[in-house]
Amino acid sequence: MRFGPLDGVRVLDLSRLLPGPYASLVLSDLGADVVKVEDPEHGDYLRQISAGMFAALNRGKRSIVLDLKTSSDAAELRRLCAVTDVLIESFRPGVLERLGFADLLADPGRLVICRISGYGQSGPWRDRAGHDIGYVALAGIVARNGGVPAVQLADLFGGGQNAVIGVLAALVERARTGRGRVLDVAMAQGSTGLLLPHLGELPDAPENMLDGSRPCYRVYACKDGGRYALGALEPKFWQRFCAAVGRRAWADRGFDRALVPEVDALLATRTREEWDVFLCSADCCGAPVLEPFELRDHPLFAGLFAGDLPRTYPALVVTADLPAGRAPASGEHTEEVLREWSSR
């Protein structure tokens, strides 16, 4: 028997791809009973795009198939909404209304409805198509990052993580008022949270000192082809690094771009592991750059995996108690859920 802070909370997830499934996975790891609602034709597109991603985001969930374009299955979803706590959807704005649920959106009762979209349910960009690259471009992240991030920040933070925060807050509010609410989670707008401290510096923002161009805060290539990240941002950490490597003359040059080639050359003389052992005792904010496939065997992440797949955080339920089962086949649990959820 699973228990957690959200034990007894039922979640219907109509979303696809990354943002909604990530949000419902976090809720599942916190104890909620999550059911994916997929259409009979395509289901969650992530099944075809990346089986590995789909497995990681949907482990331990159940799947039912409903064709919401038919009156009978739309009525079935409405019945399920009456006995569930949270509905997550990531259709283009207006789709849920066209499917006949405008009244539920106007008066959700006790239901918390989380709507994830690129640009929000209203405003001039409401109907514009988009993907992660466009959301982070608009949010200032591409400019600040100096290029396109290799992970989907808008999907997972601007959408997924903000959806979790909104849902949890709405459930707390409902416990007090007895009323649910409709959440409008826009990935482009939500992504600006990643730049919030920097936006506070405008209009006189200083030069970006953390872009990897300064010797004290840089990723270095090592002898074995591995890389080592040095984050000796404060003077005391940089001075410890300089002392450890016998370069005290560098002590006041942590932000001097002209020093970079010399430090590059020095870090290239040892392997990543050798530098990590050597600099650990110096306590200078250094760390090896791990490839994603290395996480599983690294001691820092010993409790990260539920079965073969990573868990979510915060870890309010011990990893051993998380749903570690495989991701569901499309519609695998339709009869089971419809029977089980026939009454509260």
Catalytic residues: 131, 155
Contacts by 135-143 with C-beta closer than 8 Å and gap 24+? Answer: 135/187, 135/188, 135/191, 136/191, 138/188, 139/188, 139/189, 139/191, 139/192, 139/194, 139/195, 140/192, 140/195, 140/199, 141/191, 141/194, 141/195
- 260 Cβ neighbours under 8 A, 6+ residues apart: 213, 214, 215, 218
8 phi-psi bin (left φ>0, alpha ψ -120 to 50, beta other): left
- With vertex at residue 183, the alpha carbon angle to CA 179 and CA 189, rounded to the nearest 5 degrees, is 155
Tokens of 274: 């050798």
Q: Which helix (H) or strand (E) holds 315?
A: none
Q: Which residue from 221, 219, 217, 192 is spatially nearest to 207, judged by alpha carbons?
A: 217
Cβ contacts of 46 within 8 Å, gap of 6 or more: 16, 17, 18, 21, 53, 54, 57
Query: What is the distance between the alpha carbons of residues 325 and 55, in angstroms, rounded to a whole number?
Result: 10
Phi-psi region of 49 (alpha: psi -120 to 50; beta: other; left: phi over 0): alpha
Which SS3 state, helix, strand or coil, does residue 179 take?
coil
